[in-house]
Amino acid sequence: MKILVAYSGGKDSQASLIWSIKKYGVQNIEAVFCDTGWESPITYEHIKKTTDELGVKLVILKSKKYDGMIDMASKKGRFPSTKARFCTIELKSIPMIDYILGHKENLLIVQGIRGMESNSRSKMSAQCTYFKYYFEPVKQNKNGKDVFHTYRKKDIKKWCESYNADILRPVFEWTGQMVINYIIENGQEPNELYKQGFKRVGCFPCIMSGHKEILNIITRYPERFDEIIEFGNKISSFFSINCIPERYQSGVCPRTGKSFTTALDIKRYLENKNNTIDLFEQDEPISCSSYYHLCE
**pLDDT reading at 17 higher than 80:** yes
| Residue 42: HSE in the Cβ half-sphere, 13 Å Cα cutoff | 20
**pLDDT reading at 287 higher than 60:** no
- For 16, 39, 48, 169, the CA distances from 24, given in Å and listed in that order, are 12, 29, 21, 14
**pLDDT reading at 188 higher than 70:** yes
Angle between helix 211-220 and helix 263-275 axes, rounded to 10 deg: 90
55-88 per-position pLDDT tens digit:
999 999 999 999 999 999 999 999 999 889 999 9
**pLDDT reading at 18 higher than 90:** yes
Lowest mean pLDDT among 25-29, 65-69, 85-89, 121-125: 121-125
**pLDDT reading at 132 higher than 90:** yes
**pLDDT reading at 36 higher than 90:** yes
Sequence length of the chain is: 296
pLDDT score recorded for residue 180: 96
- Of 239, 3, 198, nearest in space to 105 by CA: 3
% helix, strand, coil for the chain, step of 5: 45, 10, 45
Choice between 83 and 133, residue whose per-residue pLDDT is larger:
133
pLDDT score recorded for residue 2: 96
Domain-wise residue ranges, the chain: 2-185, 210-275
**pLDDT reading at 285 higher than 60:** no
What is the CATH architecture of 2-185? 3-Layer(aba) Sandwich (3.40)
Lowest mean pLDDT among 36-40, 52-56, 138-142, 254-258: 254-258
**pLDDT reading at 215 higher than 60:** yes
At residue 286 the predicted structure's pLDDT band, cuts being 50, 70 and 90, is very low
What percentage of residues in the chain have a pLDDT greater than 90?
A: 76
Q: Please, what is the average pLDDT of the chain?
A: 91
Q: Region 16-38: what's the mean pLDDT?
A: 98
Name the region of 149 (left: φ>0; alpha: ψ -120 to 50; beta: rest): beta
**pLDDT reading at 116 higher than 90:** no
The CA distance from 201 to 245, in Å, is 26
The CA distance from 12 to 110, in Å, is 11
